[in-house]
A and B are shown apart, each in its own frame.
Chain A
Amino acid sequence: MATVELKHVRKVYSGGVEAVKGVSIDIADGALCVLVGPSGCGKSTLLRMIAGLEAISAGDIAIDGKVVNAIGPAERDIAMVFQNYALYPHMKVYDNMAYGLRNRGMAKDEIDKRVQSAAATLELTQLLQRRPRELSGGQRQRVAMGRAIVRDPKVFLFDEPLSNLDAKLRGQMRVEIKRLQRSLGVTSVYVTHDQLEAMTLADQLVVMNNGVVEQIGAPLDVYEKPASTFVASFIGAPPMNLLPLTRAANGHALKDGQVLASTAFDGSAAALLGFRPEDAVVGADGHSFALDFHVLAVEPVGAESYLHGEAAGSQLIVRVAGRTDVKPGDRMPVSVADARLHAFDAAGKRIERSPAGVIVRAAAVQAAPA
């Protein structure tokens, strides 16, 4: 068991491309840290640097308090699960799992004990004499996991291990990975581009974009308080609605010219107002933040429905529970509880609200003088 620390880690390729631009992350012993971001954000490069498959251009990576920059992948005591599983096609399942142990000169009966025990955990016992090509995608995935488990390493590294599985199996394996990681208590780093996978698996969520860390935190904290507009729109599906603001004489104006009166944040910096689709409620109560919503499309998903439409000059999505009678072309007021509004500055950084402040439309303030 071990901690993993990254200190100002950078990766610059020989062509001058900077894939990772000074990333620092502390991963606690036994935690499952998920690196999430769009493709090309540097998350896989970072994982490969932890594994020792990519050289570190600058900064330090420490496993269990020991800097491993100059140590090869074999000596870092890590195990990795690859996206394409990377099973040795000419070896039986048993030999695939035993390969790493044999290379380390472990005694035969100890190898057998470990392989059998891992196979039992992953329900692979019946398949030990098969070759990878005779297995289904889900079974191959299990073998890849088994190969990592038998090693009993300090750190597990997962490189998008579920992205080659179909949706149903993916959900199943997600739960299984989490259960397994909990029971083994091995520190893990998990890379994915799937925000749902990231949210459900992570103890510690690291959102990356363009080679930098946008936010680190517990998944729900990240969801509740996105540190930037990037995080706000990447985490959560559908993404957070963002309304651009412009300066006005007595506060800020929405695109349609309506003025907001706000005591919630230092108004001068606010450039974007955000709210999650599920925080919007159809109807107006007279004092919440309200918009005149013009529905353009309705997406019924079953348990909920998404209304795509336009308000205050921006495209918005509003979630309503269950099914809805709303049709494209309808107009209706939509309101958002004040505490559910987020504000971001021109650079996309979150602006913390003062606890007592409110954000309302100037008109609404006038309408409720009492």
Chain B
Amino acid sequence: MSPRVVFPNRMLPYLLLAPQLAITLVFFYWPASQALYQSVLREDPFGLASRYVGLDNFRRVLADPNYINSIEVTAIFSVATAALAMSTALLLAVMADKVIRGRGIYRTLMIWPYAVAPAIAGMLWLFMFNPTMGTFAYMLRATGYNWDPLLNGPQAMTLVIAAAAWKQISYNFLFFVAGLQAIPKTLIEAAAIDGAGETKRFWTIVFPLLAPTTFFLLVVNTVYAFFDTFGIIHAVTGGGPGKSTETLVYKVYNDGFVNLLFGSSAAQSVILMVIVIAMTAVQFRYVEKKVHYG
């Protein structure tokens, strides 16, 4: 262990940490504690008074078929978004690794979508695939396919998944490119001499060595799909049609800020908090052990 660095002034370390602590307190701990507090209260219909109801909000939420639906939607949406974003990014990264001329330009262009705000990305996809005015929607319908994400739930889901994945590909691409570059070239050459073809080399050497990157991205993408896709869903479908694209986060927003069911919404966000903490813990506890090499 390296020797401990000791600050000469006892107050200095606390002072240096203070800004970050203040931000965390104001924007994380305070709202989180408010959510916990609200989740055991229920307001009267006019918002004039609230009373303590214990765990009744949780009981109601978990018994609500709409909430169960929302869990399913979130599961499908997250898995599909993470899988699509990561596999596409990996494919592009492997391709970009082989490009020799103009490699820098390709990489730069690949990173651009990440700079697009979620709501803007959502609008882009909405315009492209809007059944009344979207270019791609027009082309789809011209082939005879009945494209209508405004009425068709699975199609709406496909659209938000595509939009959400598209935005995240850049980020994943960046990490995969870095991961690929970190693999010593001599390993690939040694494998080539050892008689492994390109596909075999990828699956037996490159992919296992990318595991730390893949694991990191798995965590990041899951969190992204859970929380950061609110803007996209809000812009593209608004949770509809029906409740076919209403994810947990979107339902928290919908119930809390649109329907003004503060108690229910708070209970949902507490559940969401527990789910994410549990998922991250599981990922670090069981998956991380298997992916780090010296």
Hey, which bits of chain A sit against chain B, CB under 8 A?
51-53, 72-74, 78-80, 82-84, 86, 88-90, 99-100, 103-104, 131-134, 147, 151
Hey, which bits of chain B sit against chain A, CB under 8 A?
184, 186-187, 189-197, 200, 204-205, 208-209, 211, 293-294
CA distance A56 to B193 in the complex (A): 17
State the Cβ distance, A79 to closest chain B Cβ, in Å: 7
- Contacting pair B209 A89 (CB below 8 A): yes
- Contacting pair B195 A104 (CB below 8 A): yes
- Contacting pair A80 B294 (CB below 8 A): no
- Contacting pair A74 B193 (CB below 8 A): yes
Q: Which B residues are CB-close (under 8 A) to A78?
A: 193
From A74, A79, A131, residue with most partner B Cβ within 10 Å: A74
- Contacting pair A132 B192 (CB below 8 A): no
Q: Which A residues are CB-close (under 8 A) to B197?
A: 74
Contact among B184, B189, B191, B211 for A99, CB-based, below 8 A: B191
- Contacting pair B205 A51 (CB below 8 A): no
- Contacting pair A84 B186 (CB below 8 A): yes
- 5 residue pairs of the A-B complex, CB under 8 angstroms, read A72-B192, A88-B205, A100-B195, A103-B194, A131-B294
State the Cβ distance, A127 to closest chain B Cβ, in Å: 15
CA distance A51 to B192 in the complex (A): 10
- Contacting pair B293 A73 (CB below 8 A): no
- Contacting pair A100 B194 (CB below 8 A): yes
- Contacting pair A86 B190 (CB below 8 A): yes
State the Cβ distance, A286 to closest chain B Cβ, in Å: 60
CA distance A306 to B293 in the complex (A): 48
CA distance A132 to B209 in the complex (A): 14
Contact among A79, A83, A84, A133 for B193, CB-based, below 8 A: A79
- Contacting pair B294 A88 (CB below 8 A): no
CA distance A83 to B194 in the complex (A): 16
Known: A86-B184, A131-B293. A103 touches B195 (CB 8 A): yes
- Contacting pair B208 A74 (CB below 8 A): no
- Contacting pair A53 B194 (CB below 8 A): no
Known: A89-B294, A131-B293, A131-B294. A73 touches B192 (CB 8 A): yes
Q: Which B residues are CB-close (under 8 A) to A100?
A: 193-195
Residue of B nearest to A82 (CB): B186
Q: Which A residues are CB-close (under 8 A) to B189?
A: 51, 53, 73, 80, 82, 86
State the Cβ distance, B206 to closest chain A Cβ, in Å: 11
CA distance A51 to B184 in the complex (A): 18
